[in-house]
Amino acid sequence: MREVRTQVVIVGAGPAGLVLGHLLHLQGVDNIVLERRTRDYVEHRQRAGVLEYGITEMLAEAGVGERMRREGLAHHGIQLRFENGAHRINFLELADGRAITVYGQQEVVKDLIGLRLNFHGAALHFESEVRAIEGIDTERPFVDANTPEGPLRIHAAYVAGCDGTHGVTGQSVPALVRRRFERVYPFAWLGILAQAAPVNDELIYSRHERGFALYSMRSPELVRLYLGVAPDENLADWSDERIWDELATRLGEGAHGQLQTGPILERGITAMRNIVLEPLRHGRLVLAGDAAHIVPPTGAKGMNLALADVRVLVPALVAALRENDTRLLDAYSDTCLRHVWRAEEFSTYMTQMLHPNPHDEFENRVQLARLRQVVESEPTARALARHYVDACSL
Ligand code: APR
Ligand code: PHB
């Protein structure tokens, strides 16, 4: 078996692993990123596309904000629709003028991969799956991966688990110290990417009695739309016509012009749940991003949370490796869990407020009371706006 050595071995080339690798490289920390999928796959995987204010600043400071600033869409508000009314949450007034940026996760991923491979020449191996992580309780951990060139063992001072949901790294924390918190929802999202011009220039979250709907976009030619559906919904039961009809009904066609339809380029069903693994560090293993926590997509916190972890992790690893000072690393898990649980709470709040439950009229009345409170009480609207715009940096 081939063997190599680095300072930090990073498992997974999603936003968490790529930003971590990039920032460590800028600090002179040698690292290797291993990704089990192909480059093409990770560059085209459809995911959420809303970046918080503080996270866009982080990307710009890291030197990967140029295309995001040019092509990303700055939004200064969102719209909430319920009981046939449309209400704007104005970030200029309620969130100190800060904006969110609508920019697809796969675009962030493309920018980072391009920079790493074309300019930095730092190690990033695709089609390289990590099969085992050993020695995290010692000072000499290593990972074993299957690469296109055969098996590879990488020795490192630290292993960073950025391998997303159900990754191998999260399971490497011994069961005795690991705690897992989970909530599953009785619905899922059917999402489409369609070639159509956005008719509204901000996101619309709609709570309709037939179910949830979300209007989002990727560019002046592409819309991203979602419908709340049953968790076991069969995609084959949804013709294009049925999808567009349901979207028009739930979004309240007519309130802001006709819903522009167009060819559906991609479609899929996403489960909705919360997961948090504690702690985010054990010995020489650190977890970041979806490897450690999942949020339901209402509120678009997933990628922001992944990058917020990395923002805490980089100085901690640098201090440990350069000065042998592990204080920040010792605090890493607790520091992250504050923003993790804040984002879990906000995503849960948004999810529970916007998805009607056909079997629970009490719950439905509570949801409507909550929505009315948002639009009638400024402190409540302000709290929603601040969390929407910057929960991971509060
Ligand atoms: N070996 C190598 N790579 C792996 C392994 C493994 N054993 N297991 C998983 N991976 C890779 C996956 O193929 C994926 O590309 O790890 C990567 C994890 O990336 P993401 O799933 O994008 O997770 P993360 O970087 O934490 O970003 C979180 O992703 O799911 C969205 O909503 C979420 O926006 C959030 C973001
Ligand atoms: C998206 O554009 O994909 C998106 C936007 C807002 C969300 C979730 C997803 O809450």
| Residue 33 CA, ligand 1 centroid: distance in Å | 12
Phi, psi of 264 (to 5 degrees): -85, 115
- Report the Cα 332 to chain-centroid distance in Å: 20
Evaluate: CB of 340 within 6 angstroms of ligand 1. Answer: no
Return the best residue to mutate from 216, 219, 223, 347 for the ligand 2 pocket (most ligand atoms within 8 A of CB): 216
**Which residue is associated with the tokens 């962030």?**
108
C-alpha 77/C-alpha 147 separation (Å) is 45
Residue type for position 178: R
Terminal Cα-to-Cα distance of the chain (whole angstroms) = 47
C-alpha 67/C-alpha 88 separation (Å) is 28
pLDDT at 257: 61
C-alpha 255/C-alpha 258 separation (Å) is 8
C-alpha 107/C-alpha 122 separation (Å) is 20
C-alpha 333/C-alpha 280 separation (Å) is 5
- DSSP-derived secondary structure letter, 18: H
**Residue 114 neighbours by CB under 8 Å, 6+ apart:** none
Largest CA distance in the chain: 65
- 185-272+357-393 sits in which CATH class? alpha beta
Tokens (6 digits) for 208: 């309709």
Return the best residue to mutate from 189, 303, 304, 392 for the ligand 1 pocket (most ligand atoms within 8 A of CB): 303
- The full set of domain ranges for the chain reads 2-76+99-181+273-350, 185-272+357-393
pLDDT at 145: 98
| Residue 377 CA, ligand 2 centroid: distance in Å | 25
8 Å CB contact between 138 and 102: no
In the residue annotation, 141 being an active-site residue is answered as: no
Coil/strand/helix, residue 206: strand
Tokens (6 digits) for 294: 């999942």
Instruction: Report the 10 Å Cβ neighbour count for 301.
Output: 28
In the residue annotation, 53 being an active-site residue is answered as: no
Question: Which of the following CATH numbers is that of domain 2-76+99-181+273-350: 3.50.50.60, 3.20.20.20, 1.10.3720.10, 3.40.30.10?
Answer: 3.50.50.60
Coil/strand/helix, residue 309: helix
Can you tell me which atom of ligand 1 is nearest the CA of 16?
Answer: 25
Evaluate: CB of 48 within 6 angstroms of ligand 1. Answer: yes
pLDDT at 255: 54
Residue numbers of the chain with a pLDDT score lower than 70: 253-257
Evaluate: CB of 308 within 6 angstroms of ligand 1. Answer: no
Q: Could you read off the pLDDT of 79-131 as tens digits, one per residue?
A: 999 999 999 999 999 999 999 999 999 999 999 999 999 988 999 999 999 99
* Equal CATH topology for 2-76+99-181+273-350 and 185-272+357-393: no
Angle between helices 327-354 and 361-376 (to 10 degrees): 110
* Percent of the chain clearing pLDDT 70 (strictly above): 99
Phi, psi of 304 (to 5 degrees): -60, -40
Return the best residue to mutate from 102, 203, 295 for the ligand 2 pocket (most ligand atoms within 8 A of CB): 203
The string of DSSP codes covering 61-119 is HTT--HHHHHHSEEESEEEEEETTEEEEEEHHHHSTT--EEE--HHHHHHHHHHIIIII
| Residue 306 CA, ligand 1 centroid: distance in Å | 10
Residue nearest to atom 1 of ligand 2 (CA): 48
pTM equals 0.97
Q: Which residues line ligand 2 (CB under 6 A)?
A: 48-50, 203, 214, 216, 224, 297-300
Evaluate: CB of 36 within 6 angstroms of ligand 1. Answer: yes
Instruction: Report the 10 Å Cβ neighbour count for 83.
Output: 11
Tokens (6 digits) for 35: 């990704």
Coil/strand/helix, residue 84: coil
**Which residue is associated with the tokens 């220039």?**
201
Peptide bond into 279 cis (omega under 30): yes
Q: Which of 225, 228, 212, 215 is nearest to 265 (CA)?
A: 225
